[in-house]
Amino acid sequence: MDNQRLEELFLTVQKPGRYSGGEMGSVIKDKEKIDVRFAFCFPDTYEIGMSHLGMKILYSLFNSREDIWCERVFAPGTDFEEVMRKNNIPLFALESRDPISDFDFVGFTMQYELSYTNVLNMLDLAGIPLLSKERKELAPLVVAGGPCVCNPEPIADFVDIFFLGEGEEVDLEVIDLYKSFKASGGTDKKEFLKQAAKIKGVYVPSLYKVEYNDDGTINKYTPQEGAPKIVEKRIIKNLDSVHYPENFPVPYTEIVHDRAVMEIFRGCIRGCRFCQAGFIYRPVREKSSETINKSAYDLCMNTGYDELSLSSLSTSDYREIEPLLNTMIDWTEKENISLSLPSLRIDNFSPELLEKMKMIRKSGLTFAPEAGTQRLRDVINKNITEEDILSSCETAFKGGYTSVKLYFMVGLPTETDEDIEGIAKLGQKIVDLYYSSPYKQKGRGVTVSISVSNFVPKPFTPFEFCPQITAEELHRKHQVLVSAITTKKISLSWHDSETSALEGVLARGDRRVGQAILNAFQDGAKMDSWGECFSYERWMKAFQKAGLDPRFYANRERKPDEINPWDHLDYGVNKKFLIDEYNKACNEATTPNCREKCAGCGAAKYGEGVCFEKCKTVL
């Protein structure tokens, strides 16, 4: 279809800017002068995908090479998908508007389990066979990376190659192998996959045979054709030297996080037992303040953004945070750029940091106690006390803040109704603290916003062995919390129970779950993370049709010696450590953070970061 007709169709749907491309900073290349075309696919809408830092990094990295052209692809909204199917428009990339079926690689970043049906829908819109075994030709190769691929088994039948860990190096190594393979006359897909599987960080699921026990658990994984028995993730050792974008496409339309983003470190020292990111991104590696400051300045100057966010799992744990802010404030104030600090820890929220924040950010403060009682905070290894929480709120009130947002979880292991009620009691104590404080502002009330997510046990965490409570029980717990809140000064929001229940199944599912995903898609499932599109009943029907019980994956406790669907993958934390942490959780015992004392998780083997600094004697 010609561009003029396509643009006419854009105008028939909501938010045509999602599909038009042509943004400032987008990369256009001569197709005749490149060797490899890579379609970077985000399995959600433009507004979500354009907010994702990983896409910006890899888009810039790939396009820094003259021989590679990386283009962006997003899941169309339901209105434009209808137009596409009616007019036989295949899924296309924004930069060239070419069908992605013409590309060498179709790569998905997997950030959320409920986007799995979007992957299938996008392949279907592109006219690409859904199952890897049905794609006989070398190209396009369907590849995937991101946090969800630490258990890739539920979508293993649809993907040719998974990239484990951080992609800046391993992705390019596979692309270079593809170039040389084609240059030597290679055309056989299976032969290419066998060669790719020899690269560290590359998992080729078709080269692994899975056998099951009579009770449905996994008996063993057997590698085929010389594939490694264990596939180890990749990490970037030196964050100061790794590529970081000086520019990226700036959207014409509003997106979820419409700002410049500067990554300051990877990993987390804390070891909260529910947090998958805190374990799979180990070891902690920091960028120098000089690198951060220069990169942030260049990024803001090139994109024109007037807001900059410092990105990490726990920003206030960055060792040079206050000197960094002093340096950055010098130029952000002159350029009228607002600087935001997400992911602050309650226990290191100092008056000095507050003073810096008052200079750069005027909105309310956000903290994450996660649990309402000290007992449960010890179970999850949050390592903060109620005194820490109230002290930080008092510091905020003293600094002129009147709004505090608190994040909690419901459904945590060993949780009781008393723990749920503890959330309301803690919120009330913060309200009372404000009104009894000498720093209370005349004529201004306090607002305490409580946001509740539902606990989902994830792979490579100490809680990977835990049963998840049912959607019905989650709903009951939400009502306990609603009843416990007795003041209008506290507002409450929570995540949907049924989507969390499905997330738990997909997060710890095995390869057989792929059939249920396919069934759900064929029955109309897509955009499952959007409430208006999600149907729990459709998914339960899909599992029934596949002969699978969702409770087997989500709602039973797993024995430590059970083979999990991800046990043949190595993300740096060993299973013995996770078992020990699970036992400590059951005994309500805590583990110090990585800067205080090494817990021996295994990540020291990479020879970098905080783990290496603390654990040289164990190497």
- For the stretch 252-282, pLDDT in tens is 999 999 999 999 999 999 999 999 999 999 9
Compute CA distances 250 → 37, 70, 316, 364, whole Å: 22, 16, 28, 27
User: What is the DSSP secondary-structure string of 252-268?
Assistant: SS--TT-SEEEE-EES-
The stretch 350-358 carries a mean pLDDT of 65
The stretch 523-538 carries a mean pLDDT of 95
Domains for the chain: give ranges and CATH numbers: 3-232 (3.40.50.280), 364-512+548-579 (3.30.750.200), 580-618 (no CATH)
- Strand, helix or coil for residue 216: coil
Does residue 359 surpass a pLDDT of 70? no
**Which pLDDT band holds residue 617 (cuts at 50, 70, 90)?**
very low
**Torsion sign over Cα 182, 186, 187, 193:** negative
Amino acid letter, residue 545: K
Total residues belonging to the chain? 619
pLDDT score recorded for residue 408: 97
pLDDT score recorded for residue 165: 97
pLDDT score recorded for residue 356: 65
Does residue 556 surpass a pLDDT of 90? yes
pLDDT digits (tens, 9 = 90+) for 132-159: 999 999 999 999 999 999 999 999 999 9
pLDDT digits (tens, 9 = 90+) for 16-47: 999 999 999 999 999 999 999 999 999 999 99
Element (H, E) at 250: none
pLDDT score recorded for residue 616: 53
For 136-154, give one letter per residue: b (16+ CB within 10 A) or e: eebbbbbbbbbbbbbbbbb
The stretch 528-554 carries a mean pLDDT of 96
User: What is the DSSP secondary-structure string of 143-199?
Assistant: EEESGGGGS-GGGGGG-SEEE-B-HHHHHHHHHHHHHHHHHTT---HHHHHHHHTTS
Q: What's the whole-number average pLDDT of the chain?
A: 94
By percentage, how much of the chain surpasses pLDDT 90? 87
- Asked if the peptide bond before residue 205 counts as cis, ω within 30 degrees of 0, the response is no
The stretch 92-112 carries a mean pLDDT of 98
Percent helix, strand and coil across the chain, each to the nearest 5: 45, 15, 40
pLDDT score recorded for residue 615: 60
Q: Where is average pLDDT lowest: 256-260, 308-312, 614-618? A: 614-618
The stretch 445-471 carries a mean pLDDT of 97
User: What is the DSSP secondary-structure string of 348-403?
Assistant: G--HHHHHHHHHH--S-EEEEEESSSHHHHHHTT----HHHHHHHHHHHHHTT--E
Q: In whole angstroms, what is the distance from residue 276 CA to residue 479 CA? A: 27
Q: In whole angstroms, what is the distance from residue 253 CA to residue 268 CA? A: 33
pLDDT score recorded for residue 465: 97
pTM to 2 decimals?
Answer: 0.95
